[in-house]
Structure 1
C-alpha cells in the first residue's frame, strides 16, 4: 500500500484491498495546512519568496543594483531550529538539482548539511535562469547556469548572519567565523543560524561577497546522498499527479486519433449516467483540435465516463501523417538542393581513393516519462493557482493567463516534483497547461466552482504527442588510405522543433534549425558540406533528452568508426589523431574510459564479445564510452559500459554517475526492437510500454562511471550521457558482424 495515497479514484474492489488497516497509519498534513504551519513556525531568512520582487533599498532589504535572482530572501529560509530550506529555481524530475543546488548554496552559507532541506520555486521573477532571463529547466543548464548564482546567494546570507551576530555581541565582523550552521566568536561565543535569522533578514543585502577558495569546499565535489532519496525510495514522495485540494475534481479528455482533428458528434448520455461524473464538456485542444472532457470526483469515474462516450471524429481536414510515406518523401527531399550550414569544396569526392556512402533512419520517439502529464487549476477571479511539474513555469503561467483572460501576475504556478519529463514538460505552446486551463474555465462556466486536475493516462501521453522528430541522414565521404577525410557531403532531413516557437529567432538561421545539426562535424576538423531540409508533416515535435545529438552523435561516431575499420586503424587511436591538440577534454574523457575499461586487452573479452567506442560532446560536457557487446540469437546484447566523463567540476559525483547511467539506459532503449513511434494514416500505433520498448532490468549492462578531475566551473550533465551510448554499442556489433548499423532501433537483417 502506498502511503498518503488517495484510493477514491480507483475501482471499488481495489479500494477495499488497498485500504485494509489504513486507519492505523499516520495521516499526512494537507498541503495548505502544511504551508500555513511552516509560515508561522518562525521567522526565516526569506520566509516569503514573493518578497524578492518587492525588496527595495529604502526597505533595507536589498540594494537597487541587485536583481531578484541575486537576493537571498527568495532562496533561503532558516527556521528557529536552524533548519535551512533552499528554494530551487528548477524543476526536479530526476536530475538531482534539489540536492546539487542546495549543496552549492550551503557550501558558501557554511550550513549544517544535516539540517538542509530543499523546495521548489514558482513562476516568481526570482526563479528565472540568471543567464537566460526566463524560467527554464532544460539544456542541462541548471547547475551550469546557477553555480555562481547559488554560491553568491549562500555567501550573501552568511554575510548577513555574521553582521547580525556582530551587532548582538557588539564585535567586529572580522573577529567572527562560521561553521556548520553557527556563528562563532571569541571566548567560546556561539549562536545558531536560527537564533540570528530574524535580525539578519532586516539587514541590507551586500552586493559583493567573497567566495570560498575551492580547496576549502566541504560539500561541493564530495559524493552526497540526494535529499529526495528517502522519500522516493520509500514511496512517500509526492508528485504533480498526487496534488489533492479540498473539493478537487478530476478531468480526463477524449482526444482525436489524428492530430488537429475536430468533433463531428458526441453522445455523452452513458458517460453522464456514471456515478461520480459531474459534467461532460467539449473543449479546445492543442493545435486547433477539439476534445471532450469528462469531469468527475476522481480519476476512475472520469475514465469510465470517457470510455462510455460515443464520438464521431471529423478527420477530413487533418493531414494524416504516415511513417512509411514520410520516409519516401524524406528520401526524395534528400536529393534536392537546400540551405547549407557548412559548405566545403566537394570536388575531391570525385577522385578520393576510398568512398563511403551511407543512409541513416531515425524514427519518432516518445518521451515516455513514468509520470503522465497532469496539471491542477484552482480558478478564482483575482488569483489563479496551478500545480504542475513544469520545466518553464513562467511560460506556462503566461499561457494560463491568456487562456483565462487574466494578467500574468494573477497566475501562481506551484512547481511540483515530476516523475520524469525529458523535455516533454516544456513546450513553447504550454499545450497541456493551456488545455487544463481551458477545462477549468469550461467547468466553472458549467457551474463547477472547484479545483480541477486534468490527468493524462499513459495511452494519452504516448499518443498525444509531442515527439522527438523522425530524421533521415545521407552521407557521401571521400578519404584516403590513411583515413584522411578529403570531402564529406551530408544531408539531414527532419522537422524543426523550434520553428514557430519562442526560440525560433535564436535557433533558426538561414532556414536551418540549429538543434537539428548540433553535434555535426565537431570535434573533428572535417571538410563537410551540410545541407538541411525541414519538412512540416502533421506531427507535433519537441526536444527529447539531448535533442539533436540523439541522431547526429550516432551518425558521426559510427561513420568515424567505419572509416577507421576500413583503413585498418584502431578506433581509439584514429580518434585521438583527429582530436590533435585542440580537444584536450575529449582526449581526457576517452583516455579515462579506455584505461578503466581494459580496452585492447583481448584476454579480458569472452569469445564472441567485442569492444565498441564512441565519444561525444553535448551541452559543454564530453562523455566517452567503451562498451563490451555480443550478438546472441541474432540480437545485440550490451554487457558492460565504462564511461569517461569531462564535466569540469562535478558538484556531486554521485549525481553525475546517476545521470550518466540513466542517460545511457535511455540511449540503450533507442537501440532495442520496438523502440520507435510509428504513424499509420495519421494515427500513432503505440499506446503503452507493451508496444513502445524501454530498457528493462534484463537489458541493463554493468556500469562504471569515471570523472575527469577538474576545478573549472561545472558544465551540463542531465543529457550528455545519452548520445554516445548507441553508437558505441553499434560499433561493437559492427566489429562482430562486419556490417555497420544504419538505423535505430537496431536491425541485423
Structure 2
C-alpha cells in the first residue's frame, strides 16, 4: 500500500506567493529571462520541484554546477518521473537549507562525485510524488478514478477527451497528500534517463549569458583586491596606506581578519593601488616550513605515530611475510598540489542594515552562509546566498575564506563589493592537496603470487581540519582506494594521520590520488618481480571480482594490450574502484627529445552502474584524465620559509591542448546502483602512466611528478 504523509503541500506547486508550510524566494535562473520561484522549505518534495500556474516547471538543484553537468542530469531524473520533456524543466540553484543536505556527505555540499549518487532515488521520488499529486487532483476535479488518468508531456489526460496542464492543476494538487513511497519507473521504461543528452547549460555558456561569480554586478558595486600574508595563515599587524591615498578610483583601505583590502571603482585600480600597500605581518607558525620538511615529517610519522586500521586485518601478515619466497618493498610520495581552477576565487557581498546578500561560486552553501554570518556578526537567516556557475571547483570552493573576506569588506565600506583574487593570489593561498607517503610491502610465494600485503599511508586529515574530526579517528577521505580488489590471503592496512601545521584541502579524487598511485604502481612492481605480464598478473588475482575483472579485460582488449606498441612507446595498465565506479586504464607513452613524457593514448573501461547521461559521463572521464595528467607529469607546490614558490601557470603548468592524448572510452552497460564519475579517472591515469614509463625506461618514478629530471634520477 502507498504511504502518505499528513503534511499539506500548500504552495508546493503554486508558487506566486509565500504560503503556509514554506517560504517562496525569488531565485534568478541562469540563462532564463524570468525568475523561478524557489521553495525554501524543510519538506520534501517542496524543496525540489515547483510548478507555476503558467506551467513552468522548476527544479531546485541542490548541487552547484562547476562543469560536471548537474544542470542537465538532475532535471533528467525529475523529468523522467514527471513524464515531461527535458526542455519543459528549468533549473535554479537551491538556497542554503538542510532540506538540500547531500546524504552521502552530511551537508549541502557538491563534491565527492556524489551528485547523481545522492539524487538518483531522491529526485526520482520527488518527481513521482508530484506526478501522483497531479493525477489525484485531476481525478478529484473530474470525479473519475485515478487509474483512468495518465500524465504525459506536462498534461494530465483523462476519459472523454478530458485534459489539463500541470499548471492548471497546480493549485488543486497542492492540497493533495504526498505519497511517501510512490512507484518509480522500471529502468526498462526510461525515456530520458540513460540516453545521451545535450547539456542544457551549453548554449548559455557559448553565448555568454551564463553568469559566473566573476560576472556578477550589483547597483553601486565597487571592487576589492586583497593583500594577504605571503605565509599562509599569517595575519596583518599594521599597514601603511599613505602611498595609496589619492590614487585614481581608490575609495577605501580595509583591514580584515586575514588581510588588507583596497577598494576602488574598478578591479584594475584596486589591484594597482594594492601594490603600493606596506603591510607588517605576523607570519605565524608556518613560516619555518618547506615542502621537504613536510614530506620528511610525514615519512617519519610512519614509524612514530600509532596507526589506525583502515579495515580489519586479515590472516597473519607477519608470519606469511616471514615465510615468503621473496619480499618486495616500495615507498611512494605524492606532493602538495594546487586546485588552480580557471576562475580565480571571487565573491560579491552586499551588507545593509544587518542583512547580507552574497553571490558567487561555492560548493558549500550552508557553510558559506554560516561563515558570512560569523564574520559580520549576524544570524545565518539574515544571510541570503545565491550560487552562480563555478569556473572550476575541484574542492577549492568548499572553502570559505574568500567569501568571508568579501562580506567583511562590504560591511566596512557600506556598499556592495566584488572581491576578486588575482591568479597569483589563488595559486599562493590555496588549501593544497596534502602530501602523501605510502609504504607497501608484499610477500610472494614461489610462483610470484602475493601471500601477504602490508599497506601504509601517512598524510594529513583534511576532514580533521575542516569539520573537526576527533584525533585518532579514521578519516575515510584518507583511505580511498587503499584496499584493492586483489585476492591476497593475509593483509593489513594502516592509516597514519600526521598534522604538518599547514592548511590543506580536498582535491579532485581526494586520497584516491595517493593510494591508487601507490597500489597500482606496486602491483606492477610485484608483476615485474614475479616475471609476469602486469595485465595477466592482475587478472589472476581477480577471480572473485567480476566487475573489476570485466573492466580490466575491456580496457586491455580495447588498447590492444596483446599486440606490441609502436617503436619507442610502451603501455601501462592500472585498476581501481572509486565512489562505486569500477575502472581500468591503459596509457600509451613515449619520451620526447628532452626526456619528457608524451602520452599518446589513454584507454578507459568504466563500469559506473546505471548512468543518467552517458554523454556527460564520457566528458567527465576525459576531463579527469587531462586533470590527472597535469598532476602526474607537471605539477608540484614547493615552499621555502612558508612561502609558496609557484605563482601562475608558467611555473604550475597545466596540460595544453596539443599535449592531450587520444582518449578512448568503453562504458559498461550495468544495472548496478550509480557510481560517481567526476573524479576516479583523475587518480587512475597517474599509475597507468607511471607503469608505462617504467616499462619504457626500466626506471620506476616513485615520487611525483614524473618530470624528465625525475625519470633520469629514478632507479629500477
TM-score by length of 1: 0.86
Q: 1:52 touches 1:71 (CA, 8 Å); kept in 2?
A: no
Residue 544 (structure 2) pairs with residue 576 (structure 1): no
Which residue does the alignment assign to 2:246? 273
Structure 1 residues 337-358: Cα deviation after superposition (integer angstroms, max 9, x where no partner): 5324265532444453223232
- Displacement, 1:589? 1.9
Which residue does the alignment assign to 1:3? none
Match of 1:702 among 646, 653, 662: 662
Within 5 A, what are the aligned runs for 1:537-616?
A: 537-581=500-544, 583-602=545-564, 605-616=565-576
Match of 1:483 among 432, 435, 448: 448
Q: 2:238 touches 2:281 (CA, 8 Å); kept in 1?
A: yes
- Displacement, 1:197? 2.9
Distance in 2 of aligned mates of 1:608 and 1:114:
50
Which residue does the alignment assign to 2:7? none
Residue 304 (structure 2) pairs with residue 336 (structure 1): yes
Distance in 2 of aligned mates of 1:658 and 1:53:
40
Which residue does the alignment assign to 2:65? 92
Which residue does the alignment assign to 1:208? 181
Task: After superposing the two structures, state which structure 1 stretch, 456-465 or 179-188, moved more.
Answer: 179-188
Task: After superposing the two structures, state which structure 1 stretch, 708-717 or 690-699, moved more.
Answer: 708-717
Which residue does the alignment assign to 1:728? 688
Residue 387 (structure 2) pairs with residue 415 (structure 1): yes
Which residue does the alignment assign to 1:18? none
What is the RMSD of the two structures over their aligned residues, measured on CA atoms? Answer: 2.5
Instruction: Report the CA distance shift for 1:687/1:297 in structure 2 as closer, same or farther (over 3 A).
Output: same
Which residue does the alignment assign to 1:640? 601
Distance in 2 of aligned mates of 1:670 and 1:624:
19
Instruction: Report the CA distance shift for 1:317/1:741 in structure 2 as closer, same or farther (over 3 A).
Output: closer
Q: 2:41 touches 2:97 (CA, 8 Å); kept in 1?
A: no
Distance in 2 of aligned mates of 1:177 and 1:154:
15
Distance in 2 of aligned mates of 1:51 and 1:653:
39
Which residue does the alignment assign to 2:36? none
Match of 1:310 among 253, 265, 278: 278
Which residue does the alignment assign to 1:684? 644
Q: 2:14 touches 2:52 (CA, 8 Å); kept in 1?
A: no
Task: After superposing the two structures, state which structure 1 stretch, 89-98 or 431-440, moved more.
Answer: 431-440
Q: Which runs of 4+ in 1 moved over 4 A?
A: 48-53, 67-70, 130-133
Which residue does the alignment assign to 2:288? 320
Match of 1:103 among 62, 76, 92: 76
Match of 2:268 among 300, 303, 306: 300
- Displacement, 1:115? 2.2
- Displacement, 1:192? 2.6
- Displacement, 1:207? 2.7
Instruction: Report the CA distance shift for 1:329/1:166 in structure 2 as closer, same or farther (over 3 A).
Output: closer
- Displacement, 1:666? 0.9
Distance in 2 of aligned mates of 1:610 and 1:636:
11
Between the two proteins, the alignment pairs up a number of residues equal to: 679
Q: 2:350 touches 2:407 (CA, 8 Å); kept in 1?
A: no
Q: 2:14 touches 2:171 (CA, 8 Å); kept in 1?
A: no
Q: 1:400 touches 1:411 (CA, 8 Å); kept in 2?
A: yes
Within 5 A, what are the aligned runs for 1:18-417?
A: 45=13, 47=15, 54=22, 71-130=44-103, 133-285=106-258, 291-315=259-283, 318-336=286-304, 338-341=306-309, 344-417=316-389
Instruction: Report the CA distance shift for 1:145/1:680 in structure 2 as closer, same or farther (over 3 A).
Output: same
Instruction: Report the CA distance shift for 1:538/1:49 in structure 2 as closer, same or farther (over 3 A).
Output: farther
Distance in 2 of aligned mates of 1:70 and 1:588:
42
Within 5 A, what are the aligned runs for 1:638-677?
A: 638-673=599-634, 675-677=635-637
Gaps of 5+ in 1: 1-42, 56-66, 286-290
Instruction: Report the CA distance shift for 1:298/1:52 in structure 2 as closer, same or farther (over 3 A).
Output: farther
Task: After superposing the two structures, state which structure 1 stretch, 147-156 or 403-412, moved more.
Answer: 403-412
Which residue does the alignment assign to 1:472? 437
Q: 1:320 touches 1:538 (CA, 8 Å); kept in 2?
A: no
Distance in 1 of aligned mates of 2:170 and 2:245:
55
Structure 1 residues 671-698: Cα deviation after superposition (integer angstroms, max 9, x where no partner): 223x111101110001111110111101
Q: 1:550 touches 1:722 (CA, 8 Å); kept in 2?
A: yes
Structure 1 residues 257-278: Cα deviation after superposition (integer angstroms, max 9, x where no partner): 0122233442212222222211
Match of 2:459 among 494, 500, 503: 494
Distance in 2 of aligned mates of 1:318 and 1:670:
24
- Displacement, 1:220? 0.5
Gaps of 5+ in 2: 1-10, 24-39
Distance in 2 of aligned mates of 1:719 and 1:566:
31
Distance in 2 of aligned mates of 1:195 and 1:91:
31
Residue 402 (structure 2) pairs with residue 432 (structure 1): yes
Q: 1:50 touches 1:74 (CA, 8 Å); kept in 2?
A: no
Q: 1:610 touches 1:735 (CA, 8 Å); kept in 2?
A: yes
Q: 2:16 touches 2:52 (CA, 8 Å); kept in 1?
A: no
- Displacement, 1:89? 0.8
Instruction: Report the CA distance shift for 1:364/1:382 in structure 2 as closer, same or farther (over 3 A).
Output: same
Distance in 2 of aligned mates of 1:68 and 1:712:
32
- Displacement, 1:378? 1.8
Distance in 2 of aligned mates of 1:46 and 1:383:
28
- Displacement, 1:329? 3.3
Distance in 2 of aligned mates of 1:346 and 1:501:
36
Task: After superposing the two structures, state which structure 1 stretch, 461-470 or 203-212, moved more.
Answer: 203-212
Distance in 2 of aligned mates of 1:205 and 1:431:
41
- Displacement, 1:372? 1.2
* Partner SS for 1:379: strand
Task: After superposing the two structures, state which structure 1 stretch, 728-737 or 518-527, moved more.
Answer: 518-527
Q: 2:102 touches 2:109 (CA, 8 Å); kept in 1?
A: yes
Distance in 2 of aligned mates of 1:364 and 1:596:
34
Which residue does the alignment assign to 1:10? none
Task: After superposing the two structures, state which structure 1 stretch, 357-366 or 520-529, moved more.
Answer: 520-529
Structure 1 residues 540-575: Cα deviation after superposition (integer angstroms, max 9, x where no partner): 101101111111001000110111122122222221
Structure 1 residues 310-355: Cα deviation after superposition (integer angstroms, max 9, x where no partner): 2233437653210123333344444435324265532444453223
Distance in 2 of aligned mates of 1:479 and 1:156:
57
Distance in 1 of aligned mates of 2:624 and 2:476:
22
Distance in 2 of aligned mates of 1:659 and 1:172:
46
Structure 1 residues 48-88: Cα deviation after superposition (integer angstroms, max 9, x where no partner): 79869638xxxxxxxxxxx9565333322334553422110
* Partner SS for 1:232: helix
Instruction: Report the CA distance shift for 1:50/1:304 in structure 2 as closer, same or farther (over 3 A).
Output: farther
Instruction: Report the CA distance shift for 1:83/1:690 in structure 2 as closer, same or farther (over 3 A).
Output: same
- Displacement, 1:532? 4.0
Residue 695 (structure 2) pairs with residue 743 (structure 1): no
